[in-house]
Structure 1
Amino acid sequence: MLNLATVLEDSARDVPERTAVVHGGLRLPYSMIDSVACQVAALLTARGIGRGDRVALACPNVPYFPFVYFGILKAGATVVPLNVLLKPGEIAYHLDDSGARALFCFEGTPELPLGERGRAGFEASSAELFIVLPATPPATESPYGETLWAALDGVPATYSTVQTNADDTAVILYTSGTTGHPKGAELSHQNMLMNAIISDEMHLRREEGDVYLTSLPLFHSFGQTVLMNAGFRRRATLVLQPRFEPASALGLMRDEGVTLFAGVPTMYWAMLAEIHARGGPVPTTLHSAISGGSAAPLEVLKDFGETFGIGILEGYGLSETSPVACFNQRGKPNKPGSIGTPVWGVEMKLVDPEWNTVEGEGPGEIAVRGHNVMTGYHDRPAETAEVLRDGWLRTGDIATRDSDGYYFIVDRAKDMIIRGGFNVYPREVEEVLMGHDAVSLAAVVGVPDEAHGEEVKAYVIRRPGAELGERELIAWARERMAAYKYPRLVEFRDALPMTATGKILKRELR
């Protein structure tokens, strides 16, 4: 029997008064995080939701996230974290595709009307229970429905955690593929717990009183495993930043004595740009800096090392691998530009399109096998069979390997765009754009962008006689897609380059 909630429960038992979470003026001890999570579990049980049920959570980096995340796990249910930028139609899709029975949704702010979007998505879905996480705690009323604090009134703060099996699904993380339709990677309690342990034990220097700046979104696998789950296991303090902003991040590092930061390359780029533009003291307590999501430019690695006095350790993974698969680990040479070597208990190899092993340097497609590989895509046996064979997961990422066993990414999975650390799948964007009356055909690609790594660009053929401008189409798309998805660049063409079979040659558009 195994439950991922152990990473919180053990720390709450052993260091109950240690600060687990800092958010603004709030400093919450481990005992409180665990107590509220127990109440959430008891609430779910009372509402008839338990082992094997799916419960969605739409919440930025605020204390509600661990309250509800671990409460769902304690109840034996499966957490379905949702990107907070999703629009109502996208939320409804995720709820129905996962079969979620409930949605815990942050009320939001004028800048991020998550409560409004979540309620609309919920009402368009088959989910049964909607609980509002009010922006002003401990508010008991919300225009969007029953609040968490009203629901928890009188609910006991003790709960006997449901004993789940190691291979029961703990989390469903939504990812996309070349189909453009998001699909849920089912990750077991063992997948997630082992990856948190590996992240804690193998990758990072350990110090009593570690403080993690948690700027990566917790709904994403990187922040969830490497920061929250590994951090709670370490009994560290998590300083929550709901939305990354470089000046604020640097201020929190200095004020809170942050020892560990994990982020995507654009976060490091933005912090360095802030320091070089405005000066100010460089945080001195940082002992670990971790990067993932996409390859960090060598100039950023060099600049950070010179500015902060420590190197950035790069790794590699994906939602389907919980996520960490490969890392530049302590005790081994750090090779800039490399994603390192496979982590403990994980095997990696290069394969060709027919699954044959590629020997030597490669290149080839990365395949991964180990305790971190998902059990499959939720309710998608065909898509699961395409990527899983004999325990091996083919990632779609092309890499080379040197004589020391270090891997180097050559190209990403086909046409996927990584904008600011978020995966954008062109076909999904293309399908939305082609819903516009004036659009005949659309091809979406990623183009280099200094601020976000890549920017989303759409090449569009208008319908005959249609009048449609760049700004008009961008504004239309913005209303229908999450903020990280919609194209900022549109170029109108009379024709697109194609193969003889009619496939658009995107490599000629980049």
Structure 2
Amino acid sequence: MLEQRPWLKNYPDEIPSTLTYKNQQVQDYLKRAAEDNPEKIAIHFMGKETTYKDIYESALKFAGYLQEIGIEKGDRVAIMLPNMPASVISYYGILMAGGVVVQTNPLYMERELEYQMKDSGAKAIITMDILFPRVTKVMPQTDLQHVIVTAIKDYLPFPKNLIYPFIQKKQYGIVVNVNHEGNQHLLTEILKQPKRELKEYDFNSDDELALLQYTGGTTGFPKGVMLTHRNLVANAAMCRAWLYKTKPGQEIVLGILPFFHVYGMTTVLILSVMDANKMVLLPKFDAETTLKTIQKQRPTLFPGAPTIYIGLLNHPDLKKYDLSSIDSCISGSAALPVEVQQKFEEVTGGKLVEGYGLTESSPVTHANFLWDRPRVKGSIGVPWPDTDAAIFSMETGEALPAGEVGEIAVKGPQVMKGYWNRPEDTAETLRDGWLLTGDLGYMDEDGYFYVVDRKKDMIIAGGYNIYPREIEEVLYEHPAVQEVVAAGIPDPYRGETVKAYIVLKEGAKVSEDELNKFARKHLAAFKAPRLYEFRDELPKTAVGKILRRALVDEEKKKLNNEQEKRA
């Protein structure tokens, strides 16, 4: 089946099976966009717009300043920012200086931040004023030598820039003042300075690191994924080929997915610049703000995650907003429930399809077709150009035929170089050029792939293998359910038992008994949840992925406490 690559017969004529990749750096896209479209709007941010020329000039100044303070080729520089103009300027500026970007979640607390800075060996970090105290506390324990500070107000139009500090003080309870001196630097001051001549370095896109992107750490300490310029350029080119009906330079891209998540970075930060499209950036997801932004700014491309689409669909005032500008959406980071997909397409008139990938593959490897092909229910789609995929047996490690469940493995130019300073983990995950994803799934006769679950999330109850995603798909069909996650929790008799955590739609009511009857109507008895818990919200990552492992850990803690009390 693999030799035949059955998925290629499904490709529309407009999508080539293989692409040509230039030996170039990611920042070359910004240079070209600024040269070809200098006055084109690159960023809309909270009412203020910035051109490609201005972004490029700012990135050049930032790059020169980094070299001036001692950043050399291969040095790691961290970005700890939400989506804002400074995150675009600093990303491309670090690459121009020859540095390696370390994307860092602004929600990280001191322990998490210290771990990542130590592990990456970052020499400098750019962050927000309100995060400055957190950064300075960890600096003595790390290799950080410089901290560069920016602020939301610096990128707001008048009079918002004057009002925002008061809003920030009310929201966070602090006002931070940083002086541009010593090892503390202000981005506003840096950008007032003249451009410096940049040192030139030898470059090979196959080997040259662009990014250390840390995995979420939901299954242990986060690992730094080494992504090269070649990896990122290749995945962006694949994405452009997949979106063959879009018009470069004419699209408006909604940037809600955070750039510190690899999916947002590739599909918004890199692809938008590659095509000189306009980015509409939001520093965080808020359903009402997003609906207002869509109505006013008229975005056409909307990469997102299921929880974002769910949040919008369940807003009580959804019908008041015009979302008809949205043409194309690829959902990633978690399974997309079919009900959500159908409803979102009804509301917008656009296309929403599920894709698949992981940090280690820059990130996309599969997606459904947006146009010219019928929808395949429940599938993550087919491999992208130049991407091979297979299902390997967990027992023998050999490729399995169509229809059999095993571990999904992928191979292609977007696959990482390896894990930073972790040769054993690299050897375990990369085998003979194949990236073992840790996801269980199967391929059908036509080359469409299906994820049944994470290998580590599979529930084994009474000897049966149970896949949480199957249970969740069923419960999402209940009209009262807004969000659901199923998990295996400790059970003294069955080993594990299935528990469903439910968030209800606003104003909806349903009993545990009613949900149980509904589940058992659609699932075999051994798969149906034995326990239900209703919650106001579910624990999530910054990109909106539900943290199943956090719920399991809660249950284990409860069980341990009960056992200690009995003892």
Range of TM-score over shorter length: 0.7 to 0.9
Match of 2:335 in 1: 295
Partner of residue 71 from structure 2, selected from 49, 71, 79 = 49
For residues 92-111 of structure 1, the aligned pairs below 5 Å read: 92-108=114-130
Q: CA deviation at 1:279?
A: 2.4
C-alpha distance in structure 2 between counterparts of 1:494 and 1:223, whole Å: 38
TM-score, with structure 1 as normaliser:
0.80
SS at match of 2:149: strand
Q: CA deviation at 1:494?
A: 4.8
Match of 1:183 in 2: 223
SS at match of 1:192: helix
Partner of residue 398 from structure 1, selected from 420, 435, 440 = 440
Identity within the alignment, %: 33
C-alpha distance in structure 1 between counterparts of 2:154 and 2:200, whole Å: 26
| 1:125 partnered with 2:142 | yes
Match of 1:374 in 2: 416
Q: CA deviation at 1:115?
A: 2.3
| 1:251 partnered with 2:273 | no
**Is 115-124 or 131-140 further displaced after alignment?**
131-140
Q: CA deviation at 1:163?
A: 4.9
Match of 1:2 in 2: 24
Match of 1:407 in 2: 449
Partner of residue 384 from structure 1, selected from 423, 426, 432 = 426
C-alpha distance in structure 2 between counterparts of 1:483 and 1:409, whole Å: 16
Partner of residue 88 from structure 1, selected from 95, 101, 110 = 110
Contact between 1:185 and 1:319, CA under 8 Å: does it hold in 2? yes
| 1:239 partnered with 2:261 | no
Partner of residue 142 from structure 1, selected from 157, 169, 178 = 178
Match of 2:306 in 1: 265
**CA 47–143 in structure 1, closer or farther in 2 if over 3 Å, else same:** closer
Contact between 1:76 and 1:163, CA under 8 Å: does it hold in 2? no
Q: CA deviation at 1:201?
A: 2.2
Match of 1:32 in 2: 54
Equivalent residue letter for 2:132 = G
Match of 1:321 in 2: 361
Contact between 1:64 and 1:133, CA under 8 Å: does it hold in 2? yes
**CA 451–186 in structure 1, closer or farther in 2 if over 3 Å, else same:** farther
| 1:19 partnered with 2:41 | yes
Contact between 1:195 and 1:322, CA under 8 Å: does it hold in 2? yes
C-alpha distance in structure 2 between counterparts of 1:414 and 1:365, whole Å: 11
C-alpha distance in structure 1 between counterparts of 2:84 and 2:193, whole Å: 23
Partner of residue 407 from structure 2, selected from 361, 365, 387 = 365
Q: CA deviation at 1:345?
A: 0.7
Q: CA deviation at 1:415?
A: 3.6
C-alpha distance in structure 1 between counterparts of 2:149 and 2:237, whole Å: 32
Deviations 1:248-281 (A, max 9, x none): 112111111110111110111111111x555203
Equivalent residue letter for 1:165 = N
Match of 2:167 in 1: none
C-alpha distance in structure 1 between counterparts of 2:256 and 2:96, whole Å: 25
Q: CA deviation at 1:311?
A: 2.7
Deviations 1:123-169 (A, max 9, x none): 33121111112343289962794212234442417757655311211
**CA 161–202 in structure 1, closer or farther in 2 if over 3 Å, else same:** farther
Q: CA deviation at 1:446?
A: 9.0
**Is 485-494 or 34-43 further displaced after alignment?**
485-494
C-alpha distance in structure 2 between counterparts of 1:483 and 1:50, whole Å: 36
Match of 2:386 in 1: 345
Q: CA deviation at 1:450?
A: 3.7
C-alpha distance in structure 2 between counterparts of 1:369 and 1:342, whole Å: 10
Task: Count residues with an aligned counterpart.
Answer: 442
C-alpha distance in structure 2 between counterparts of 1:5 and 1:20, whole Å: 14
Q: CA deviation at 1:121?
A: 2.6
C-alpha distance in structure 2 between counterparts of 1:164 and 1:256, whole Å: 39
C-alpha distance in structure 2 between counterparts of 1:176 and 1:251, whole Å: 30
Partner of residue 61 from structure 1, selected from 83, 108, 111 = 83
Contact between 1:74 and 1:162, CA under 8 Å: does it hold in 2? no
SS at match of 1:11: helix
Partner of residue 154 from structure 1, selected from 170, 179, 193 = 193
Deviations 1:213-253 (A, max 9, x none): 10000111010001110111111100001001112112111
Contact between 1:35 and 1:157, CA under 8 Å: does it hold in 2? no
C-alpha distance in structure 1 between counterparts of 2:386 and 2:124, whole Å: 35
**Is 406-415 or 75-84 further displaced after alignment?**
406-415
Contact between 2:382 and 2:448, CA under 8 Å: does it hold in 1? yes
SS at match of 1:315: strand
Q: CA deviation at 1:199?
A: 1.1
**CA 259–123 in structure 1, closer or farther in 2 if over 3 Å, else same:** same
Contact between 1:58 and 1:103, CA under 8 Å: does it hold in 2? yes
Deviations 1:61-94 (A, max 9, x none): 0100010000000111100000111101111111
SS at match of 2:29: helix
Gaps of 5+ in 1: 109-113, 419-423, 427-442, 453-476, 499-510
Gaps of 5+ in 2: 1-22, 156-160, 162-175, 459-467, 470-484, 488-495, 506-538
Contact between 1:261 and 1:290, CA under 8 Å: does it hold in 2? yes
TM-score, with structure 2 as normaliser:
0.72
